[in-house]
């Protein structure tokens, strides 16, 4: 085997990105992570609020049942408490 007359070439491909490029990509990834964290916190808060709303709706249903027992099948104006009786219903005395 013959000896090589030209020296072996060094690998010219860079081994890592520049510090500026690394900093840039790290900042972008950090922004994404912060956004995802905030979104997760909002979703958790949303879930809790939906649960609270369901409980309040259940309370409204319970109150409506109490009104129906006491006043019959009526409409109640929640701004002033006025009861509007249905025309077809007889008075329960």
| Domain boundaries along the sequence of the chain | 19-85
- pLDDT of 24 higher than 80: yes
Tens of pLDDT along 80-91? 999 999 887 555
CA angle 13, 19, 25 (to 5 degrees): 95
- pLDDT of 10 higher than 70: yes
Tens of pLDDT along 37-93? 999 999 999 999 999 999 999 999 999 999 999 999 999 999 999 999 988 755 555
Given 3-state DSSP classes, what are the helix, strand and coil percentages for the chain, each rounded to the nearest 5? 55, 5, 35
12-16, 31-35, 67-71: lowest mean pLDDT where? 12-16
pLDDT for the residue numbered 1: 62
């Amino acid at each position: 085997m013959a000896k090589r007359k030209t020296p072996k070439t060094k690998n010219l491909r860079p081994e890592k990105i520049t510090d500026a490029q690394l900093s840039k990509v790290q900042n972008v990834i950090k922004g994404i992570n912060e956004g995802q964290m905030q979104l997760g916190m909002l979703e958790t808060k949303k879930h809790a609020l939906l649960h609270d709303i369901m409980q309040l709706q259940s309370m409204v249903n319970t109150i409506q049942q109490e009104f129906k027992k006491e006043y019959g099948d009526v409409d109640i104006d929640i701004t002033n408490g006025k009861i509007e009786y249905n025309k077809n219903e007889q008075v329960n005395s």
